[in-house]
Amino acid sequence: MKFITVLAVLVILTQVGGIFLVKSDCNTSIITVTDQHDCFDLLLICPELYQENLQPFIEHKQSMDIQTLLITTETIYETYNGRDDSEKIKYCIKTIYENYCIDYVLFVGGIDSIPTRYTHVYYSGDFGYPTPSQWVFASDYYYADLYESNGTFSSWDTNQNDVFAEYDWDGNFDRIDYTPDVFIGRLPCVTLDEVSTCVQKIILYEAEKAWTQSWFNSLVCIGGDSLPWDDEAIDEGEYVQQHVIEILQGFIPEKVWASTNQLTSSHNINDAINEGAGFVFFNGHGLHNMWATHPHNSNTWIPRGSYTLADIDELENEDRLPIIISDACYHCQYDVHSDCFAWSFVRNPNGGAIAFIGGSDTDLAYGGTAIIQKGIERLCLEISREYMNGTLYLGRLIGEAISVYTSNEMHEIDMLTVLQNHLFGDPSLQISGSSHPPETPQPPSGPVSGQVKSMYTYTASTNDSDGDNLYYLFDWGDSSTCEWIGPYDSGAVCTVEHSWDAEGVFEVKVRAKDVHGVQSGWSDPVEITMPKTRCLFFEKHKLLSCFLFLFDQYIDFLNYNGV
Ligand SMILES: [Ca+2]
Ligand SMILES: [Ca+2]
Ligand SMILES: [Ca+2]
Ligand SMILES: [Ca+2]
């Protein structure tokens, strides 16, 4: 086979110079290896047309120590067997995985360049609102799930009737092991300009180490009451995001919420994204070209006129590029609409997003607090947990989240969640730093009581075993927003001022992060009382004195009147 021939050439050249050339019909890419048994990290699959525009990407990945191998769809179709082009691609991924132990696979090309696989799921469940019963949607996840649980090739057509991923489809079932074996992403480019734009964005994102930038720790949450009139009167979008905020400790939430009246216009969303954010969450309703939700227990749609593709095109966040996670219908329906919602963010040359995670079909969800138990909403929480576990690469973030999700018993809604999930982005994209975290700081030092609206000074410090410079984030126990402050030398004292606007007892804590973006845990809290205990006692004492005075006067009055 031609592919075997190519590999033989590679081995010979490797033995000669430590650098080998991957020859293709129209171009040459240079791949550096140290010996012939080396593993690759990333397999890049694209049509020949895009190969030249991807050369800077390959060179950049090499510089990031991500060994990259490119193979064109034309070569795959000539070289590999399979009943159709999709199966040939899947066999190619499997072969390269087994020979070169790749972790990540990136498709560069839309549906016309690289085919997907369509599911066939019949779902008769009752969600209390109309849902389709026949689910036929694009599932690139087919290419990530290489093996069944017994280690054999996973065709997604185990009953061999050429209908794939069947679940109760005319009574037929195909056996699927939902665990991903490689981490997959797609840049569904349809023009060479889009290829170049994505390459430039990825190179800049990693070269600037986006995860170390001050804007990265902003977390934009866009949501409202996804399902009005549920029995518990929960604003589901905000409820999911409150859980995300609690998981993504150290991120500063920007709540573009219905309940805070911050979601009346599309400008609210663009203003928040233009400031820059590491992550953006959309929780609500979508079509391939829009997003919207509801105010609390209302059938009104907000923002006015919905958030549309035209709004995405107006984004100007430049290199402050978020990873967007969408819990809404049809945002990744690239197989029907080449300019779908998700892709419009990623292809935007003036900003938008570095990557988008979402679904290609209808997103089923439970109303009320049960919303976080299943579906893409649950996946939002698992993805957030994976990030806090220190996951370095984007594909692993979503892949590991799916592995956790699928470790429980799979029902129809779980199948639909996992199979329609897509990552539009580079799965080998670095999204956090590799370094030892700073030591968890001692609680902040400063006054433990004081008066409302007076300014007080607090200090904190800690050490980083790598000697990295450090930033500090204080949680003042009130609703005030705060920012990461720094950089300070490891061990140096960070001094800040704060005042409280209301009386009460506040738990104040601090955490540190190093210049690689790696964070310590929160310190133990210190209790700060506003106003001072002495003042409270004084006020009460004065009040008591006053009562006693009045009581004395009352006794005098009674005596005077001879009662
Ligand atoms: Ca598998
Ligand atoms: Ca079948
Ligand atoms: Ca609701
Ligand atoms: Ca460190």
- The bound ligand whose nearest atom lies closest to the alpha carbon of 436 is 4
pLDDT in tens, 350-393: 999 999 999 999 988 889 999 999 999 999 999 999 999 999 99
Interval between CA 180 and ligand 1 midpoint (Å): 5
- The bound ligand whose nearest atom lies closest to the alpha carbon of 434 is 4
What topology is assigned to 183-424 in CATH? Rossmann fold (3.40.50)
CB under 8 Å to 362, separation ≥6 — which residues? 131, 132, 135, 329, 330, 416
> In terms of Cα–Cα distance, which of 461, 458, 529 is closest to 498?
458
pLDDT of residue 23: 35
**Which pLDDT band holds residue 35 (cuts at 50, 70, 90)?**
very low
Interval between CA 181 and ligand 1 midpoint (Å): 5
- Return the ∠ at Cα 226 (arms to 221 and 227), rounded to 5°: 160
Interval between CA 145 and ligand 1 midpoint (Å): 4
pLDDT of residue 8: 25
Interval between CA 164 and ligand 2 midpoint (Å): 5
Q: Using an 8 Å Cβ cutoff, are 509 and 525 in contact?
A: yes
- The bound ligand whose nearest atom lies closest to the alpha carbon of 152 is 1
**Which pLDDT band holds residue 6 (cuts at 50, 70, 90)?**
very low
Share of the chain above pLDDT 90, in %: 80
C-alpha distances (whole Å) from 106 to each of 119, 193, 280 are 21, 18, 22
pLDDT of residue 522: 96
- The bound ligand whose nearest atom lies closest to the alpha carbon of 490 is 4
pLDDT of residue 347: 98
Which of 10-19, 452-461, 479-488 shows the lowest per-residue confidence on average (mean pLDDT)?
10-19
Interval between CA 430 and ligand 4 midpoint (Å): 17
- The bound ligand whose nearest atom lies closest to the alpha carbon of 229 is 3
Interval between CA 162 and ligand 2 midpoint (Å): 6
Q: Please tell me the chain's helix, strand, coil percentages from 3-state DSSP, rounded to the nearest 5.
A: 35, 25, 45
Interval between CA 468 and ligand 4 midpoint (Å): 5
- The bound ligand whose nearest atom lies closest to the alpha carbon of 403 is 1
pLDDT in tens, 151-205: 999 999 999 999 999 999 999 999 998 899 999 999 999 999 999 999 999 999 9
Interval between CA 157 and ligand 2 midpoint (Å): 4
**Which pLDDT band holds residue 468 (cuts at 50, 70, 90)?**
very high
Interval between CA 153 and ligand 2 midpoint (Å): 15
Structure tokens, 114: 């690289």
Mean pLDDT of 314-327: 98
- The bound ligand whose nearest atom lies closest to the alpha carbon of 161 is 2
Q: Does residue 426 surpass a pLDDT of 80?
A: yes
Q: Does residue 17 surpass a pLDDT of 50?
A: no
- The bound ligand whose nearest atom lies closest to the alpha carbon of 182 is 1
Q: Does residue 54 surpass a pLDDT of 50?
A: yes
Interval between CA 138 and ligand 2 midpoint (Å): 16
Structure tokens, 40: 């690759």
**Which pLDDT band holds residue 285 (cuts at 50, 70, 90)?**
very high
- Phi, psi at 431, each rounded to 5°: -125, 0
pLDDT of residue 557: 53
Interval between CA 259 and ligand 3 midpoint (Å): 12
Report the CATH number of the 456-531 domain.
2.60.40
pLDDT of residue 218: 97
Average pLDDT, the chain: 88
Q: Does residue 532 surpass a pLDDT of 80?
A: no
Instruction: Report the C-alpha gap between 546 and 523 in whole angstroms.
Output: 44
- The bound ligand whose nearest atom lies closest to the alpha carbon of 169 is 2
Interval between CA 238 and ligand 3 midpoint (Å): 10
- What DSSP letter does each residue of 465-500 carry, written as one string? TT---EEEEEE-SSS-----EEEE-TTPPEEEEE--
